[in-house]
Amino acid sequence: MQYEILGDNLPVVVCHLENGETINCESGAMSWMTPNMEMETSGGGMGKVFGRMFSGETLFQNHYTAKRGPGMIAFSSSFPGSIRAVEITPDHPVVVQKKGYLASEPGVDLSIFFQKKASAGLFGGEGFIMQKLSGRGLAFVEIDGSAVEYDLRAGEQLVVDTGYVAMMDASCSMEIVGVKGVKNALLGGEGLFNTIVTGPGRVTLQTMPINNFAATIAALIPKGN
């Protein structure tokens, strides 16, 4: 499979498949394709269906296969930002934000990923439930806004406002903690929780989480009487 990522802050990944090649995606992710791309929908078992439901994805996946010759299919980002191509191997699984998965080759397995401290995660918003991409193959991931990457050494930490973590190597660990001090939490304007990412591994942050953007727009909409 060959691919190209086009567009600026409203990107699309265009995939060129050889005859018989297949690519998987979430239901409704396809933007355009050649007529010889054939679709098959499946859930992959009840466990995977419920896992996708909890991680914010659609319950079923679509599998597109090029038939009767080479085919082309495109997947667009659902929000202004960027699309990253990530090579997944058994030695390099990654964890992505919920709804961050866009498409992948068939060898990539999508599963649910929980934080270690569920009690903190239940109140930590976007950082609680994420997705793990494992197996082998190429995957495409959506980033809200621009992507900023850091390579953390073993034990090195980064404190991130919850919701800004777009993707990290599975070798990294993540913990959601409350902001210290009642006054800081209530008056500081930074929310009640932060995310601590600990290396080793690469962490990809996003500059415009969709929830923050939505909250900013909602605050500007006049309230009705």
Residue 216 amino acid letter: T
Q: Kindly report the number of other CB atoms within 10 A of residue 203's CB atom.
A: 24
pLDDT of 79 higher than 70 = yes
Residue 196 amino acid letter: I
What pLDDT is recorded for position 45? 46
Q: Specify if 182 maps to a domain.
A: yes
Q: Specify if 120 maps to a domain.
A: yes
Residue 97 sits in a domain whose CATH number is: 3.60.160.10
Distance CA 66, CA 1 (A): 11
Q: Specify if 51 maps to a domain.
A: yes
Q: Specify if 165 maps to a domain.
A: yes
Query: What total number of domains does the chain contain?
Result: 1
Q: Specify if 129 maps to a domain.
A: yes
Q: Specify if 225 maps to a domain.
A: no
* pLDDT 10s digits, 160-208: 987 899 999 999 998 888 766 444 444 444 556 788 999 999 999 999 9
Contact 1, 66 (CB under 8 A): no
3-state secondary structure of 184: helix
Q: Which domain holds residue 96?
A: 2-220
**Rounded to 5 degrees, what are φ and ψ at 15?**
-105, 130
What pLDDT is recorded for position 95? 95
Distance CA 3, CA 196 (A): 34
Q: Specify if 178 maps to a domain.
A: yes
Q: Specify if 197 maps to a domain.
A: yes
